[in-house]
Amino acid sequence: MEYKRDTRSGKFRMVEPTIGRTDYQAEVAALNGVNLPYAAYCAELGRPGPASEPVTRSLAWHVRSEDEQSAAAQHQRPGQGFDGVDGVCDALWRWNDPAPFLVQGLQRVQRALHARTSKLMPGTHPARSKS
């Protein structure tokens, strides 16, 4: 569930219910030592949840490509807004699992090539299956 504070009333308002799937805040919590999906799993089974651990450092999480576009649109430098955190984790890049980063990079290259070739050869379309 995502909440935002209403500037008029100061109350928190429900913005986006996320039923049946984990989302960004679950990974932010996990990076900071709280495994929300596992805690929910334990709660559903009536088992005790994982023990709390003291926070020793704060980590932020970002989607580099989206944050860079957002920073440019707002005339900010990339990384601005992460003051006060001990580290920033990339949403896609992990040394122990580089596949999401590599797949996104490949998709970006494919889109860029398609955009350029479409301009060079207007009216052409990719080959399609005859079935």
Q: What is the pLDDT of residue 36?
A: 86
Q: State how far the alpha carbon of 128 is from the alpha carbons of 109, 116, 117, 131, in Å.
A: 21, 20, 17, 9
| Dihedral angle over CA of 64, 67, 72, 74, nearest 10 | -170
What is the per-residue DSSP string for 44-62? HHTPPPPPP----S-EEEE
Q: What is the pLDDT of residue 46?
A: 95
- Please indicate whether residue 129 or residue 99 has the higher confidence score (pLDDT): 99
Please say whether the beta carbons of 3 and 15 come within 8 A. yes
CA-derived radius of gyration, the chain: 21
Q: Please compute, for residue 92, the number of CA atoms within 13 A of its CA located in the half-sphere on the CB side.
A: 12
Q: At residue 126, does pLDDT exceed 70?
A: no
Task: Give residue 109's pLDDT band: very low, low, confident or very high (50, 70, 90).
Answer: very high
Task: Give residue 99's pLDDT band: very low, low, confident or very high (50, 70, 90).
Answer: very high
Give per-residue pLDDT as tens, 82-94.
888 888 888 888 8
Q: What is the pLDDT of residue 24?
A: 72
Q: At residue 37, does pLDDT exceed 80?
A: yes
